[in-house]
Structure 1
């Protein structure tokens, strides 16, 4: 291609038009060579592709081609915390695996975006080229949710927040937490504690009082705490006497630090409900570091039934939820929405307790059982 032809575009970048001018054919003819080869003779198409290869032209801009079709072939996933968390948290990995397996059936890929609050990140969301959005468990009122909701693309929410007219794929968080705490009380535990995921975007760590619990920005945690409180009341215990410790990050190291203080002193709990398996594993680690046996001195119940719960030492009693299946359910809704079908709101998935070796009656009750 001549320098004159290259100068026809501001950047000098090779395009369909500049290649067409170099070859002395129409832009449509060059486009057909890539997109509709049946419209050209084999000889003409071979000449166009040979000249394109000689000049280093790799074909039409896929983004522009997708926009002309009204599709770009990507589903945006808006994730809380960092992108690295999406690939390191076992439950997130299984969810994304299920989602990817489903949407790839329609030739779609995933484009992950962290839900950040700064203006540059929000502008990037506004400009992101995606066909649909999946909002993966974000707090109420997060500005990134408002941005993706305003894009006019189909949206499916995982767990939270609730948005008008938007399907939510969730689980029965409250009943799961009730089942977990009820298991502890029926074993005879009276001194209980709860470890919670972050309740707000400020990522505080430490005791959460009643007002902090009530005003939690994460709906999932409001539901799980309410479920735990219901089981406590059912056992004729006072929820105000149950310490709720908020952990700044959903990972074992932070949970171990939070649990270390909780597990010292004469009134330490004999049973702990952790709102995720990651937190429960941190409690087990803290107990071990303090010389406490699980379940001999402390019973621990988690939530998720992640692979790490099954392979833990001891294996973790936990509330099981269908992690990979939930990703697939979200993918089904996304695909249906992109086909223009009416998408309803699915019922929350059923959860159930899986009893393993991390729970037992408290030390003083064993001889009576």
Structure 2
């Protein structure tokens, strides 16, 4: 074969001629091999290898079938988040398990916050979408809906025409908030991001940062104290998960007889234990040091526990701490938390996107439960009772 021919992609017609079979036989060899005898398949593949024919183009096969055999997962995060965040990893494991069971491939579609996000979504060669939680104003949600493909959103936002899977974040936050805030005088919340700007109070709490939060974040700069803000309006959060959990914590503190303006909220830009350690150091020091910290994730709570230990605080004697998700590290740390299975939720999202669940199953409530451990005082009192 000449150098020119080697550079040119061989065609199915040429393979059929070289093997002495029809073009349909070559097509069946690759797409429906059970319809071709073993000897003929071997003759076709020998000819294909000799001509340098790699097989039918995947895109052409997809057009003929009307499907790609791939499920797209849209991350409202940078791509590395899927591997760095333990909760995202569990969720994706659930999605991947269903894809494996049904012979589907999995494509991760990361969102960067840039103008290319919509194009990246609309051009994705997938049969359906699973969307990891993103903000209400994220344009990719409308872009996904416009594709007409099956799609399910995990955590938020909710959109007409798109399936939705999430725990009752507000009810769960109230339950764990009542636990961690019991007996507290100066409570605080370690929060997930409020909006797509992902401004952290580590950034604007320090005078050297030179960053002031905008009004859209719901944060009053005048109420900001060394790494936290009081009186954050939960309804201003455009991430549904953050908004619902803030509302639940507000409900819990109100039922304890407190005012929401008393609760300091420290916002993390990502679900990072390291960032939480820095924020917890601000919350636990100074004349108004907090004595109860409700974290929106176990990673944030574990960072808080490390800071408390470093500063010499007893848990729960000096400060109570709660988390969320009941990760593998929560029990050894004695962390009171909200238990939910993100792996099961990922699997459920995948089954919905692939049309494997009935309407009744799709609308079923997602399970969660409060796990009381040694990091809150109520659990201590329960163990002390005969």
TM-score above 0.5, yes or no: yes
Please give the alpha-carbon distance, in whole angstroms, between the structure 2 residues aligned to 1:189 and 1:41: 76
Unaligned runs of 5+ in 2: 202-227, 379-383
**1:20/1:137 Cα in 2 relative to 1: closer, same or farther (>3 Å)?**
same
- Name whichever of 249-258 and 80-89 sits farther off: 80-89
Where does residue 210 of structure 2 map in the other structure?
none
Name the SS for the 2:314 alignment partner: coil
Cα displacement string for residues 32-56 of structure 1 (whole angstroms, at most 9, x for unaligned residues): 2323445555544432221112233
Where does residue 254 of structure 2 map in the other structure?
233
1:198 to partner: Cα distance:
0.3
Find out whether 1:243 has 2:243 as its counterpart: no
1:25 to partner: Cα distance:
4.9
Find out whether 1:356 has 2:377 as its counterpart: no
**1:39/1:134 Cα in 2 relative to 1: closer, same or farther (>3 Å)?**
closer
Q: 1:113–1:125: 8 Å Cα contact kept in structure 2? A: yes
Q: 1:205–1:258: 8 Å Cα contact kept in structure 2? A: no
Find out whether 1:219 has 2:240 as its counterpart: yes
Name the SS for the 1:311 alignment partner: coil
Where does residue 364 of structure 1 map in the other structure?
none
**1:357/1:105 Cα in 2 relative to 1: closer, same or farther (>3 Å)?**
same
Work out the number of aligned pairs and report it: 355
**1:269/1:58 Cα in 2 relative to 1: closer, same or farther (>3 Å)?**
same
Please give the alpha-carbon distance, in whole angstroms, between the structure 1 residues aligned to 2:359 and 2:63: 24
Name the SS for the 1:309 alignment partner: coil
Where does residue 173 of structure 1 map in the other structure?
169
Q: In structure 2, which of residues 45, 48, 59 is the aligned counterpart of residue 49 of structure 1?
A: 45
1:214 to partner: Cα distance:
2.6
1:142 to partner: Cα distance:
0.6
Relative to the length of structure 2, the TM-score reads 0.84
Cα RMSD between the aligned structures? 2.6
Please give the alpha-carbon distance, in whole angstroms, between the structure 2 residues aligned to 1:240 and 1:276: 22
1:22 to partner: Cα distance:
4.6
Q: 2:150–2:354: 8 Å Cα contact kept in structure 1? A: no
Q: 1:2–1:22: 8 Å Cα contact kept in structure 2? A: no
Q: In structure 2, which of residues 104, 119, 126 is the aligned counterpart of residue 123 of structure 1?
A: 119
**1:184/1:212 Cα in 2 relative to 1: closer, same or farther (>3 Å)?**
closer
Q: 1:156–1:167: 8 Å Cα contact kept in structure 2? A: yes
Q: 1:336–1:342: 8 Å Cα contact kept in structure 2? A: no
What does residue range 326-337 of structure 1 map to in structure 2 within 5 Å?
Answer: 326-336=345-355
1:91 to partner: Cα distance:
1.4
Q: 1:106–1:335: 8 Å Cα contact kept in structure 2? A: no
Name the SS for the 1:94 alignment partner: helix
Q: 1:195–1:246: 8 Å Cα contact kept in structure 2? A: yes
Where does residue 323 of structure 1 map in the other structure?
342
1:139 to partner: Cα distance:
0.6
Please give the alpha-carbon distance, in whole angstroms, between the structure 1 residues aligned to 2:285 and 2:35: 78
Cα displacement string for residues 288-316 of structure 1 (whole angstroms, at most 9, x for unaligned residues): 2222222232110011111121233xx21
Relative to the length of structure 1, the TM-score reads 0.88
**1:21/1:289 Cα in 2 relative to 1: closer, same or farther (>3 Å)?**
same
Q: 2:68–2:125: 8 Å Cα contact kept in structure 1? A: yes
Q: 2:9–2:52: 8 Å Cα contact kept in structure 1? A: no
Q: 1:78–1:133: 8 Å Cα contact kept in structure 2? A: yes
Please give the alpha-carbon distance, in whole angstroms, between the structure 1 residues aligned to 2:375 and 2:34: 66
What does residue range 16-95 of structure 1 map to in structure 2 within 5 Å?
Answer: 16-23=12-19, 25-37=21-33, 39-40=35-36, 42-95=38-91
Name the SS for the 2:299 alignment partner: helix
Please give the alpha-carbon distance, in whole angstroms, between the structure 1 residues aligned to 2:279 and 2:85: 19
Name the SS for the 1:273 alignment partner: strand
